[in-house]
Amino acid sequence: MKTVLITGCSSGYGLETALYFHQQGWNVIATMRTPRTGILPVSDRIRVLPLDVTLPESITRVVRDAGPIDVLVNNAGIGVVGAFEATGMPTVREVFDTNTFGTLAMCQAVIPQMRERQAGVIVNVTSSVTLASMPFAAAYTGSKTAVEGFSGSLALELGAFGVRVKLVEPGYGPSTRFTENGTERMQGLIPEAYADIARPIFAAFAQPQAVTCPQDVAEAVWRAAHDVSDQLHFPAGADAIALAGPQ
């Protein structure tokens, strides 16, 4: 029976992906900064472990406790929306620490066992902001675009060892806790000078034409984890698929 380790499982895409893999009969190691009870079924095929991807000792501990990992899903991430001019560098670094360096650190921790077994898949979850530029997302886009470039190179590096690397690119998910989790981080990031520009953009976000549901992402991660072709990019959700264009 295969094992998947998923980061950022407390809600949204990560939680749904953990549920999906469990339903398919996999062993699931669901990680989150602060483990929550009652959100995953009680099962001998589910383990919930604490993990902060910004802390090396936390990564070392969870990889040691997890045992052999067949698929790593780097889903943990935080968001920030606002004018870049108003976004302090401590906030930018916080976003990169989780979204970019946390992903890289998890990859580096798991690669040795996969390389030695000549098998394994790494699925890095980024965002549709990498598919089309949008305003008031510069720091967040930068953190996710870095992972895209990293993953493309890593896929070529690890292919010789039978290890696959894939990207899943979700669209806008209003049903997730993305905004709620970043409320404090995003306070005051739309200065008065940007108000007129921001107003219609945020109004459009309030009434989106197409969105991404957690199930869309879970299914895309599943497809990516089982894909044996050279396909790297897997947009997830109607809006992301439209942005990506013909595949």
Compute the residue count for the chain.
247
pLDDT over 90 (residue 93): yes
How sure is the predictor about 208, in pLDDT bands with cuts at 50, 70 and 90? confident
How sure is the predictor about 150, in pLDDT bands with cuts at 50, 70 and 90? very high
Map tokens 């946390």 to a residue.
102
pLDDT over 90 (residue 160): yes
Largest Cα span, the chain: 56
CB atoms < 10 A from the CB of 125, how many? 30
- pLDDT value for 127: 97
How far is the C-alpha of 170 from the C-alpha of 130, rounded, in Å? 10
DSSP letter (8 states) at residue 109: H
Look at residues 79, 77, 78, 152 and name the one whose alpha carbon lies nearest to residue 122.
152
- Give mean pLDDT, residues 1-27: 97
- pLDDT value for 151: 98
- pLDDT value for 182: 52
Whether the CB-CB separation of 189 and 81 falls below 8 Å is answered with: yes
Backbone angles phi, psi at 157, to 5 degrees: -65, -45
Find all residues with CB under 8 Å of 160, minimum gap 6, and list them. none
Backbone angles phi, psi at 118, to 5 degrees: 60, 40
Determine whether 194 is an active site residue: no
Question: Which entry of 13, 20, 140, 172 is annotated as an active-site residue?
Answer: 140
CA distances from residue 48 to 27, 33, 37, 53 in whole angstroms, order as listed: 11, 10, 9, 15
- Give mean pLDDT, residues 157-181: 87
Q: Among 19-28, 85-94, 124-133, 183-192, whose mean pLDDT is lowest?
A: 183-192
- Give mean pLDDT, residues 220-225: 98
pLDDT over 70 (residue 204): yes
Map tokens 């459009």 to a residue.
204
- Predicted TM-score of the model (pTM): 0.94
- pLDDT value for 188: 75
Percent of the chain scoring above 70 in pLDDT: 96
How far is the C-alpha of 59 from the C-alpha of 52, rounded, in Å? 7
215-238: burial string, b at 16+ Cβ within 10 Å, e else: ebbbbbbbebbeeeeeebbbbbbb
pLDDT over 60 (residue 76): yes
How far is the C-alpha of 152 from the C-alpha of 154, rounded, in Å? 6
Three-class SS of 194-217: HHHHHHHHHHHHHCCCCCCCHHHH
pLDDT over 80 (residue 230): yes
- pLDDT value for 179: 54
Mean pLDDT over each residue of the chain, to the nearest integer? 94
Q: What domains, with CATH codes, occur in the chain?
A: 3-244 (3.40.50.720)
Mind listing the pLDDT tens digit for each residue in 26-74?
999 999 999 998 999 999 999 999 999 999 999 999 999 999 999 999 9
How far is the C-alpha of 71 from the C-alpha of 225, rounded, in Å? 7
Question: Averaging pLDDT over each range in 179-193, 197-211, 215-229, which range is the top one?
Answer: 215-229
Q: Which residues on adjacent β-strands are paired with residue 72?
A: 5, 122
Cα angle value 80/81/83 (rounded, 5°): 120
